Structure formats: C-alpha cells, structure tokens
Amino acid sequence: MCEFFRARGESSGVERLVVAAMALVVTYALFFEYLPPFLHVHLWSDIWGYHYPLQAYAFDALKHHRIPLWDASIYSGISFVGNVQAAFLYPPTWLMFLAARPVSRLPFLAIEIFTFAHVWLAFWLAYLWLRGRAGAAASALGASAFGFSGFLMWLMLHPGMLAAAAWLPLGFWSLDEVTERRDWRPLWKLAAASALAFLAGYPAAWLVNGVVWAVYAAAGRAALRGVLGTCGALAASGLLAMVQVLPALEAHSLMQLEPKYGPEAWDLRTLPLSFFLPNWFDFNIGHPADYEPGSVYLYWGIPGLFGVLYAIWRSRWRPYLQPAAVLCATLFLANPPAAFVRLVERFPAVDQTLQSFNFYAACGAMAADRGAGVGCV
C-alpha cells in the first residue's frame, strides 16, 4: 500500500483516462441537484445576471449567422469582442456553443455544465501535475484539495475567475518538468495555460496566475531557469491571446478606470481558520455577506488539512519550502499592508486590474501540493 502512495513518475494514458472518467463521475455526484434528471436548484449571482446574458446573446447572433461585435444591451452599448468577460474567444466557450447547436436558444443549463466542467478540469490538471511527485492515490487526494476546494466552489458564480484558476496546475506541471528534465520544451504548457486563462475572461485572475507561476519558479530548485522560462512563456502567451488582447486594449481606452488592489475586509485573527474549518464565515448569520468580504469560502477539505498537519509532524522542511514560499507570498498579496498597496499604486495598469482575493486560488493549489504528500504516514 505504501508503494501505491509513494510511487511516482509519468502516468500512463490509460490511467489518465480512468482518472478523468472517475473525476467526471465524482463531479456529477457533487452537483447532481443542478443537473438532469434532478434540476432542483440552479446557480445564481453574476453567472445568472451577467455572464449568461452575454453567452445567450453571442449564441443567438451566431445562430443568425452574425458575429457579435457590439452589445447594445448594456451601458448604452459596448464592444462585445472587446469585453474580455464575455470570453467569446475562449475555446471552451465555442465547445459549449457547439454542444447547444441543436436548440434555438442557449439554455442556462449549458453555462452551468460549462462551469462544472471547469471544476472537473481543475481536479484533473492538478492530478496530472501531482502525479510526477506522488502515487495515484496521493495525487488524487491532493488534487481534490484544489479542484473541490471551497474557494473554487465559490468561484462557480464567476466563470471567468474559475476558468483562470483551473489552468493554474498546468503551469505548475510545466515548471516542474522544466526543472526536472532541464528542458525548455515543456514550457508550451505554461504558455497555453496563460493564454487560456486570459481568454477565459477575467484579466485580474490571469494576472494573479502569472505572479503565482513566477513565485513558484523562483522558489524552485532551478530558480533562474524557472523564472526566465516563466517570463518567456508568459510573453509567448500574449502572442497566442493577441486576438483578444487587441480589441480589449481598444475597449480599455474608453473605460473609466478605478483602483482595485487593496486589503479585503477580513479579520486576520480568524482568516487562517477558514482554510481548515468548513463554513467558518457564516454567510447568513453573525457575519456580513456584502459581496466579497465575509462571503469568500476558503475551505481546503480533509486532504489539504491532513497534508499540512503531516508536513508539520514530519519535520522535514526541505520538500515543503517551495509550496510554503508560494503560500506565504499569496497570503501576503491577498492581504497587503498599506505600504505595499501604495507601491502598487505607482503602476496604474496593475492597480486598476489586480484584485487581492484572487490569490486565494493559489493557496488551494499549494494545499494540493501538500495533500499529495499524505501517503504512508
């Protein structure tokens, strides 16, 4: 049994397909009330009031053989292609449209399935990343600490954020291979992950991904190689996503911008407990739930909790320095002191895009990294 947990290395194609199929079953079981044949409840908030109308409009335009370039239904008219949050050029969006082609109107169920599929994708990519470090069972436990974490569950209300976070493990996997193989070629995965995260529709989350990948590379064994590779891959991803970047920049020039980066209204005395205790922040009783503060769910689950406690009990710190460094950096960036906020304000493009709470997605990924190390206690 220990060997099953500890055995590491490249997984076979059959194993990957089996894990993907099993993860799909688990994802369906987790959200069965939202899916046929049950359909008891549905998602709410921004996915219903903002994202679904955008997708429905694009789908209707395509059904009438028109390319949706302009959206006249919001803010007295804005560019549709230039609206990054529409995610019109995100490849999985086209897969959703293709699957819904037989119907005349895009059902809300389609975007719900699209969202749940990204939860599945987050788990599967995390499994592939961790499989090079641990055995199959340990990798599955670690991946569940990320893919089914509280924060990703909360992000289902914001598909662009969820989709960007789902591509994080692909970048980590790429950087691990660059370090272990001493080969630049695996960086194509990081470039693809970055481009897809940007096209997914939320530049703030994409920017967080880039920062987290850079910190992960800098904290690794071959720091210089990793950082240079990360910079090169992110630059290449800009070329891959240029079809969205150019219209977005044109629309951006017409926007009235405001600062976004700063500390959230969290109580830092209770914040660490929210990773280990489910529903520590009660959304309805005894705690304010005004949009972001108080309503962001951060629970890592039992695998993440056990992985952290096991790492502490084991007292062998070297294997945990990289995830610990990334975790500390993301917690700092998610709760920045005033001096750091003033430093970011010197760069308006960053200050007007970056949002601190998105860094909590990387906290879940580092918990997944430790969750994969729980085998053979």
Predicted local confidence at residue 262, as pLDDT:
85
Angle between helices 187-199 and 223-240 (to 10 degrees): 50
| C-alpha pair distances (Å), 53 with each of 49, 50, 81, 345 | 7, 6, 15, 34
Predicted local confidence at residue 377, as pLDDT:
37
Predicted local confidence at residue 278, as pLDDT:
77
Predicted local confidence at residue 24, as pLDDT:
96
Predicted local confidence at residue 303, as pLDDT:
84
pTM: 0.91
Predicted local confidence at residue 341, as pLDDT:
93
Predicted local confidence at residue 6, as pLDDT:
45
Written as tens digits, the pLDDT of the chain (377 aa) is 334 444 555 667 889 999 999 999 999 999 999 999 999 999 988 999 999 999 999 999 999 999 998 888 777 788 898 999 999 999 999 999 999 999 999 999 999 999 999 999 999 999 999 998 888 888 998 999 999 998 999 899 899 999 999 999 999 999 999 998 889 999 999 999 999 999 999 999 999 999 999 999 999 988 999 999 999 999 999 999 999 988 888 887 777 778 889 876 565 656 777 788 776 555 444 444 444 444 577 888 888 888 778 877 877 777 788 999 999 999 999 989 999 999 999 999 899 899 998 999 999 999 888 766 544 33
b/e 119-158 (16+ beta carbons within 10 angstroms → b): bbbbbbbbbbbbbbbbbbbbbbbbbbbbbbbbbbbbbbbb
